[in-house]
Chains A and B, each alone.
Chain A
Amino acid sequence: MSTQNPTAVRVYLARVRTALADLPDSEVEEILEDVRPHLAEMESELGEGAKVEGLIDKLGTPESYAAELRSSGGYPPRADDPAVVVAAKAGSPGRKGPRFAFWGLAFCCLGIAMFAFASASSMQPGVLMGVVLFLPVLAGTIWYVMTRGVRPVAELPEVVKLKGFLDQANDNHNGKVITYLRSLKPAWWILCAFALVGFGLFMLLGHSYAAVLLPVMLAAAVLIVWVGTRIATERRLLWLAVPISAFVVGIVFGGLGKATEVMARSGPSYYPGSSYPAGYQDSYGNSQLTYGSSSIDNVYAFDAEGKPIPEVYLYDERGRPLSTTRYVCEKSSGGRQKVGEDNRYPRPNIEEGVTDDQGNFNGYNGYRGSCRENANVPFSAAIPKGAKVSPSSPSASPSATPLPSPSPSTTAAQPTR
């Protein structure tokens, strides 16, 4: 059956399509829909293992077939013979402009998508300044297609090859995949608009200075919907649609990444074996302490008189030590260095800075990397009077138990209340 062995039809149609490449895609698809059943029938008449040569014998070359379609269908003749263009030297000066327009667009889209991803996954609108870097290049490519049109770009050997490759893949499935994707296009423009506005609003939640971002996102949303309605007839709009789509892909993936991270952190632990959600480890793979959403480097304990307790060992409610990486000063380099991990707190403060020849720390003439440890408590705590005894509170009883492993959460929570 012709569907099992569509090789000859596929090759023939791909060449017809290439010869009609300057016509709107939707129109070419309509033409090929008329032609395809006929060719499929011809191929099955030719029998098993039909070659494209067999079709060419009956119908003439795909190029002449395309030319006949053009003249009878009232389509404009091709400006320059495609055979001449393909044969032309690849590096000829006429190629530089279209190359710039094509690869510039590809490069910008990649960059824009990456910065959009980084911005959405870190929730930092400032990262979007990176996108601005690509705008001059993008503006250059837009200027090129506005003044010269898309035809020089469509005739680049790499673009022709890419198009031929996509066409073959398409004809493999009798055009169903592309037709299906094409039917989703209107939904994509709307999705883009929602994603852009949603992103702008979401950024505004976390950062008030993102207020400047929202109008830009709104404008982009309006623009993409407008572009979506006109892109079928105006291929130059690809130079707006593709970068905005790349941006949306970036923020959607970045946002999804962020969302899964947030869910993994806030939800109950799905992995009974691991006690800490991923993402809160330092560079040595040790867990870090967090309070709310901020990470904690050090913990100080005070007794009821407000006297600092020089040495406490912290455990969680299941008796697991809250161990973190311990650092000391490394004399030769002047930086801090890991010496192991434990759950003893407070840690000495490690100050990294510079010294001069007199040994003055962080002086004007300092040049040598230096590091010093400070075991002092950097603040004093005022413990509210009367807070230490709370007879009515049932949580006081666990602290009275003579267990060797203290339950810090209950006792520590008491004085601060």
Chain B
Amino acid sequence: MEISQLLKGVLDLAVLAVLRGDDGYGYDVLRRLRLAGLEEVGDASVYGTLRRLYKAGLLTSYVVPSEAGPHRKYYSLNEPGRERLAESGKTWQSFASTMNGLLGEAA
């Protein structure tokens, strides 16, 4: 099964999750996702998702100048973002356990 297909549904949740602990700029978020094992995540998809979550009011952003290279725009999870993460997290857990149960029977 194509992981990239699965990712489409949960990328929002994954991005919110990696921003739960620490703020991060776009490339940070991408690296954290990859480091967590989501190797297939597309660069542009992450940046697009960040913008969409930001426009939905779930993230705030601030700019940090960098002494070498272009300045960096950090994203951080705000209160609505945390609520959404908790909510979607629950949905995912129940969905995943349903799927696990389904597959456990089949296996």
Contacts and interface: CB of A to CB of B under 8 A. Distances in A.
- Bound together: yes
Contacts of B68: 1-3
A37 B48 contact: no
Interface in B7-62: 11, 25-27, 30, 42-52, 55
A37 B44 contact: no
B73 interface: yes
A167 B45 CA distance: 23
Nearest to B66: A37
A72 B69 contact: no
Contacts of A341: none
Nearest to A175: B70
A65 interface: yes
A265 interface: no
A68 B49 contact: no
A68 B48 contact: yes
Contacts, number: 82
A72 B52 contact: yes
B52 A34 contact: no
A34 B25 contact: yes
A34 B27 CA distance: 7
Contact of B44 (A33, A41, A72, A175): A72
A360 to B, nearest CB: 85
B47 A31 contact: yes
Contacts of A177: none
A198 B34 CA distance: 60
Given A72-B11, A73-B52, A34 B70 contact: no
A37 B27 contact: yes
B70 A68 contact: no
Given A37-B69, A40-B69, A73-B51, A65 B30 contact: no
Contact of A65 (B11, B25, B44, B52): B44
Given A68-B42, A74-B52, A37 B47 contact: no
Contacts of B51: 27, 30-31, 34, 69, 73
Contacts of B26: 34-35, 37-38
Given A68-B45, A72-B49, A73-B51, A41 B27 contact: yes
Interface in A1-24: 1-3
B72 interface: yes
A38 B45 CA distance: 13
A162 B50 CA distance: 30
Interface in B62-83: 63, 66, 68-73
A36 interface: yes
A59 interface: yes
Contact of B48 (A3, A38, A69): A69
B43 A38 contact: yes
A59 B45 CA distance: 12
Given A30-B51, A73-B49, A40 B44 contact: no
Interface string A38-77: 1011000000000000000001000001101111111100
B48 A71 contact: yes
Given A41-B27, A65-B44, A68-B44, A36 B70 contact: yes
Contacts of B70: 3, 33, 36-37, 40, 174-175
A73 B55 CA distance: 9
Given A41-B27, A68-B42, A74-B52, A35 B47 contact: yes
B69 A34 contact: no
A182 B107 CA distance: 60
A68 B7 CA distance: 14
Interface in A58-106: 59, 65-66, 68-75
Contacts of B49: 72-73
Contacts of B25: 34, 37
Contacts of A34: 25-26, 47, 50-51, 73
A72 B44 CA distance: 8
A59 B48 CA distance: 15
Contacts of B63: 33
A92 B49 CA distance: 38
Contacts of A70: 48
B47 to A, nearest CB: 5
Contacts of B71: 33, 174
The 8 closest A-B pairs by CB, nearest first: A72-B48, A73-B48, A34-B26, A68-B44, A72-B45, A38-B27, A69-B48, A74-B52
21 contacts: A3-B68, A3-B69, A31-B48, A34-B26, A34-B47, A34-B50, A36-B70, A37-B27, A37-B72, A38-B30, A40-B70, A41-B69, A65-B43, A68-B44, A68-B45, A69-B48, A72-B44, A73-B48, A73-B49, A73-B51, A175-B70
Interface of A: 1-3, 27, 30-31, 33-38, 40-41, 59, 65-66, 68-75, 174-175
